[in-house]
Amino acid sequence: MKSPSAEGHRPRGRAAGFTLIEVLAALVIVALGMLGVIQAVTQSARNGTYLREKTLAHWIAMNVITEQRLQPSAPDVSETADEVEFAGQRWAWKMTVTQTSVESMRRMDVSVRPVDWPEDRTLATLTGFYGEAIAPANGAPLSWTSTQAGLRLRVQKARAAPLL
């Protein structure tokens, strides 16, 4: 028969289990890991909100440019601003129209921001152009020549390709 100490029992002076220091160290490690996970989820939520707002601002800028393109005449060279409600939020947009080196074209720069943001901050900026048709319907190649007043468009006559 084997003695009790030979059966693999621990000496009576030491109990089985974790010490308080070991438990606290494990809790600190788990807490740091959870902190990292919480920060990652928070950043992901912030990025989602930012991308949503940026997309809405871009749509507003596209709407402003499209409205100008649908007008029968080119917009005046000036700066205009307005506010609009879109997707349950108030937005401010500003459009700057400038003359390009092509006489029949105007450049439109539209910047959009939430109303409660400072005027010098924008969420989206979009550029569009308003111009008359610059090429004939027959698809003749275009040639731009430089003059003292700017660029001049010269339409080359299309040559008929020989039939084989």
Domain CATH number, residue 112 = 3.30.1300.30
Let me know if residue 164 belongs to a domain.
no
Domain residue limits at 67: 36-133
Asked if the structure places residue 49 within a domain, the reply is: yes
The number of domains in the chain is 1
Q: What is the model's pTM?
A: 0.63
**Largest Cα span, the chain:** 116
Does 125 map to a domain?
yes
- In a domain, residue 71? The reply is yes
Tell me whether residue 106 is in a domain.
yes
In a domain, 151, yes or no: no
Q: What is the mean pLDDT of residues 6-26?
A: 76
Q: Is residue 64 part of a domain?
A: yes
Q: What is the mean pLDDT of residues 40-69?
A: 93
Encode pLDDT of 115-132 as tens digits: 999 999 999 999 999 987
Taking phi first (over 0 means left), then psi (-120 to 50 degrees means alpha), and beta for anything else, what does residue 150 get? left
